[in-house]
Structure 1
Amino acid sequence: MLVLEYKIKAKPQQDKAIDEAITTVQFIRNKAIRYWIDGPKDAKIDRFALNKYSTALRQEFSFVKDLNSMAVQASAERGWQAISRFYDNCKSKKAGKKGYPRFQRDNRSVEYKTSGWKLHPTKRRIAITDKKGIGELKLLGKWDIHQYPVKSIKRVRLVRRADGYYCQFAVDVECLDIQPPTGQEIGLDVGLESFYTDSNGHQEPNPKFLRKAETAIKHSQRAIYKKKKGSSGRRKAVAQYSRKHLRVSRQRTEHAKRLALHVCKSNDLVAYVDAPAACRRLDLRVANMLKNHCLAKSIADASWYQFRQWIEHFAIKFGRLAVAVPPQYTSVECSQCKVIVKKSLSTRTHVCKCGLILQRDWNAAINILLKAKSRGGHPQSHAVGVGTSTLLGASLVEQVLTLNTESHALYRRRSVNRSVLRRLLF
């Protein structure tokens, strides 16, 4: 499933209509969760029961009836996603909180399926045909959606962000570009001192986007509290503050894409660890490491998990092998003689009795590559990457998470034939 995104040019009254549709989606989702909470214990409330309940909401509330019927159904499915995630965490006996479904108050999107919208013959405009009054919207963007039939578009989603409104199209098409073998293999160890260190000794500097923008973000945050509540000046200050955070988020995403693209195109085998080996804890999930208030901001700013997701995506696309290995002992084991050399987190150089002296992360990256070649990776780490297609019944949120949306910056840097680009629509 390929997700193409356009920015929307709309009138102020159309913006208000989109906001009303987004609020309606949030109302339906919250009502679905309340229906699940208050429902009788002996009754089975599943996805189909919530879809049936959403139909009853259309009869009860006129503003819900104004929304397209399939959009109402998709809104109820969002509630079921939160419920099923909670069930899955309970069945898998996930440590800590299980993610009990919460009521949403910051929804930012409305999703249509195969009805409720109509694409203009030029495919540069889209008309939302429900009774919310959104009407025809102009699409701004460089993606070429002309070569795909309208029937291949399985989802249309309107998204509100800090810098405006966007329209996303989920197109049912495979996204593959099998590359010739290079004969190269690489192991990656991510960290805070450098973004990653590979088994060849190269260290990619950590960009620290949030740290660099922190002064401007704090300044804009202070400006919010200097404005009167409910005033237009306060709304403008909040919008400016949100745009600064959005810029940092986009910088992280583009950085992760660029590095993952380069790594996967240059190597046949990419080995990485499930989480940074520099952590002394055995439970090395990024979510657990974020509980450390001393390092949480730096860990979140590094966006390790996003980098891993893009590696798995490009590995599928280019026909490479991405292998995740267990992180235990990768930083304390000597890559030459396999002797355990204990060291604290502050010790950044690996010194072994066999005479090997390496930078700590370089030694870990070599161990990661050796483990990947000897053991084939961790059996529960989705070693060959995420799938490039999703079920037609899945929501666009799940489809976006398959990471088939790529930036125009990467599109311009392609070295493959332009005819292949047009056919695959990168």
Structure 2
Amino acid sequence: SLWAVADCVGMRFLSLNAVADCVGHALARFAICLAGMSLQRARGRHSITLFKNRYKITGETLGFGGFGQVVVGEDTARGGRLVGAKIVSLGKLSNEAQLRREAAIMRRAASKHVCAVYGSGVWHNRFVIVQELCSDGELGKLVQERGALGEDAARGYFHQLIDGVAHLHSVGVIHRDLKLENLMLTHGGTALRIIDFGLAHEYLPLTTGGFAEFPLHKRCGSLFYAAPEVYTPDEGYSYRADVWSCGVILFAMLLAFLPVDHAAHTDWRYAEIHKAQLSGRCVVAAALSRRHAPLQLSQPACELLNQLLRTDPSARVSSADASEHAWLGAENTGGASVHACEGSSAHLSGGLGGLASDLERDLHAGESFAATSRSLSHDGTMTVLDEAEGSWSTPHRRTPPLTAASVCRALDVLPRRNGDGPSQRKLRA
């Protein structure tokens, strides 16, 4: 940089303004170098600072989202109690009003199964939501690592989930993005907390009691978990869209794969489930038949899944009734193995289920991978098609589908197309 300044001074035709520009560029480069060295020394840790003169943001990053991250902090007013701080940069894709709305909904929906909010506000052009620290990871990661959890473990988590969702609905809140990645674990992995209310909708309370409820039409959420009526929003949807998502979560915990790629008739998996329901067959048996796997679940578990995954929302069980289902009151059914069913993958793989037979079936059926990918953002979430409700959508991180891609490469069942790079082939997988 100093040589550049010297060259500028030595060249007679350059004005003093040009010299000043060179000096400015030199100082800017120097500042960038200092910032880079500072970040390298930090190794993912945030500088010690205070938010609202109470919360000390000092900890390491726990996770990243579409527009922000969650870091560990301390509540100095509570003796250094550890908290989680969700920090979102304010900009075109996220504004202060939207984030304040999210924090307000979480306070309204407060319960022992919803991540608690302690404070929120603007801090250095970022919006911070200080919330309960859930340090034991996502429920989705647990399912990825262990495969099928078995009925006893799944019952404990699902009981907390459906109780939390029933409470949300009782106070007029629809989450609209329930999935394994939005369920955090705490207290040694035994307690479940619902997080991420960025897509939630709240009905206004009436003075006479109840809420001013009306059908929602905004197409949003996560592709693998969204209810069928969300894909056909002409008639609208309501609370029972969350119930479908709960059914997908329970299905994944018990069987270690997701029942559908997306709940629309363009997905043959969904078409099979819909056909099975019309003929009175078990949803679980229909899903396992394509994998040539035996049914290892108890009858009460299958009955609950059938009620949660009804393709007709009017026939689907409510969250309140689901929370009272007999399976949740069972002690030890002994009807399920802690491993995945024989012949199925022991791990989730981004909604494909991890079996090449499903992919081969797609190819023989002529399913359009491009049509599916158009409904996805770069990280595998549904894009919002309608902003009429004044809500907002945030792409949510999910685990890359490495297992499915590995199976495709190993068995060479994924066709290669001219002009496709690795990222395009991975997206189609």
TM-score by length of 2: 0.22
Determine which structure has greater relative contact order: mean sequence separation of CA pairs < 8 Å that are 6+ residues apart, divided by chain length: 1
TM-score by length of 1: 0.22
